[in-house]
Amino acid sequence: MDVKVKKIRGTRDILPEEASLWSEVEGKIREVCRVYGFGEIRVPTFEETSLFIKTTGETTDIVEKQMYTFEDKGGRSLTLKPEGTPSVVRAYLENALFQRGKKTKLFYIERMFRQERPQKGRYREFTQFGVELIGSKSPLSDAEIISLAFTLFEKIGVKDITLRINSIGCFRCRGPFRDALKEYLKSKLPELCPDCKRRFERNPLRVLDCKEDKEKLKDAPRSTDYLCDNCKKHWKRLISVLEKLKIPFLVDHMLVRGLDYYTGPVFEFVSGKLGAQDAVGGGGRYDELIESMGGEPTPATGFAIGLDRLVMLVEKKKEERIPLWIVNIGEEAEEAGFLLMEKLRRMGVRVEMDLTGRSLKAQFREADKRNAKYVLVIGEDEIRKNKGKLKDMETGKEEEIELDEEKIKERVC
């Protein structure tokens, strides 16, 4: 069929079978977050553009190339949020959540927008589940959110996730590391891809993140060798606690993450089952962001998981059987069946029937296709006797049953 208007490239329709999987995953997220003491926050879909420039970072791919930015009728520059952390931090400050206690633990399930080249697992509108733990500088807080993610993976039956982790250090240790890296990259520059040549000037750390040049840069300086005493202590303790928690991780010295606010540990949850877009989620510590947005110096850590990718890893369950299907013959029976169906539904019983006036055979075929456990046949005779024929679709056995919702519920559920 030639549909007149089609969906925007990079967006998608999530149809009922998949949407029910999404609801299940979202339910488990809420359950796990409750256990871990995270409260839900919902933030606006769009923000002032300057918020992302100041936080995500001017030289990041997101801000440079991917934002959906537009001017509204009042001439303001607005942006559909490409990630959740800036909005959550803004909301934390604007609503003075810091007054409610030393630690603030928030989670969100929100749509995000990035104008990237669409491919499997990469969309222009996608959903993130994120957590932000604000107010603690302890490495145990980083371990806490990583552990939360692994508890979730286990709850939804997603296996074989590897945690890749690195520490890029605070802004103090970043300087010497950046200098050493630039020195090293200078000799490699002619071999690097055009993007990396540009990054070398503006944001040399991002060169390490380039998939194309990864192999060539294996012997690059490692950020963990440039950590200040505080960052080194933090990093060592985090690693040791992750070991104790038996969380499988791999130290990846090339992991720097594409957002500017990180200080200290950064990490990604990676799956081998996703193809090129293998990062299910990512995050890290951002101890300077809140102060840079006008708040008191406040340490924080967080991550976001892409739900589009996570749901791809969840095994589809077989659809639950519909307990009852009502098959009707004639207009009078159709209405009687309909009224009975509504009574049963109000009692919480899943019931279906055909309301398109199809033949008995077609109705049975549909009930069979939809995997109904029982079929109740109602015709004129049955109405007169107030008794319908109930057929067990598995055994084929038939019995008479009074057309009474209580009795039917008891029999089929």
User: Is the CB of 152 or the CB of 341 nearer to ligand HAM?
Assistant: 152
User: Is the CB of 133 or the CB of 377 nearer to ligand HAM?
Assistant: 133
DSSP state of 223: G
Integer Cα distance of 277 and 300 in angstroms: 27
Taking CB under 6 A as the criterion, which residues in 80-119 touch ligand HAM?
83-85, 114, 116
Least Cβ distance, residue 371 to ligand HAM (angstroms) = 33
User: Is the CB of 132 or the CB of 144 nearer to ligand HAM?
Assistant: 132
- Contacting residue, 12, 30, 103, 122, with ligand HAM by CB under 6 A: 122
Least Cβ distance, residue 319 to ligand HAM (angstroms) = 26
User: Is the CB of 84 or the CB of 323 nearer to ligand HAM?
Assistant: 84
Least Cβ distance, residue 294 to ligand HAM (angstroms) = 19
- 264, containing H or E segment: none
Least Cβ distance, residue 259 to ligand HAM (angstroms) = 6
Does residue 60 touch ligand HAM according to CB under 6 A? Answer: no
Least Cβ distance, residue 295 to ligand HAM (angstroms) = 16
Using alpha carbons, list the distances in angstroms from residue 167 to 152, 227, 298: 24, 8, 19
- Contacting residue, 38, 107, 123, 177, with ligand HAM by CB under 6 A: 123
User: Is the CB of 259 or the CB of 367 nearer to ligand HAM?
Assistant: 259
User: Is the CB of 141 or the CB of 363 nearer to ligand HAM?
Assistant: 141
Provide the sign of the torsion angle of the four alpha carbons 42, 48, 51, 56, taken in this order.
Answer: positive
CA 133, 65, 115 angle in degrees (round to 5)?
80
Least Cβ distance, residue 188 to ligand HAM (angstroms) = 26
Strand-by-strand arrangement of the 322-328 sheet: 351-353, 322-328, 372-378, 387-392, 398-402
Taking CB under 6 A as the criterion, which residues in 277-336 touch ligand HAM?
279-284, 286, 302-306, 308-309
Does residue 57 touch ligand HAM according to CB under 6 A? Answer: no
Integer Cα distance of 159 and 136 in angstroms: 30
Strand, coil or helix: 191: helix
Which residue type does 193 have? C
Does residue 128 touch ligand HAM according to CB under 6 A? Answer: yes
User: Is the CB of 19 or the CB of 360 nearer to ligand HAM?
Assistant: 19
- 198, containing H or E segment: helix 194-202
Closest CA to 302 of 162, 171, 145: 145
**Exposed / middle / buried, residue 191 (Cβ in 10 Å: 0-12, 13-18, 19+):** exposed
**78 and 72 Cβ atoms separated by less than 8 Å:** yes
Least Cβ distance, residue 109 to ligand HAM (angstroms) = 12
Least Cβ distance, residue 83 to ligand HAM (angstroms) = 3
**368 and 393 Cβ atoms separated by less than 8 Å:** yes
Q: Which residues contact 292 (CB under 8 A, 6 or more apart)?
A: 54, 55, 261
DSSP state of 60: S
Q: x/- binding map, residues 240-279, to ligand HAM, per CB under 6 A?
A: -------------------x-------------------x
User: Is the CB of 152 or the CB of 383 nearer to ligand HAM?
Assistant: 152
**145 and 302 Cβ atoms separated by less than 8 Å:** yes
Least Cβ distance, residue 262 to ligand HAM (angstroms) = 7
The binding site for ligand HAM (CB under 6 A) comprises 83-85, 114, 116, 122-123, 126, 128, 130, 132, 259, 279-284, 286, 302-306, 308-309
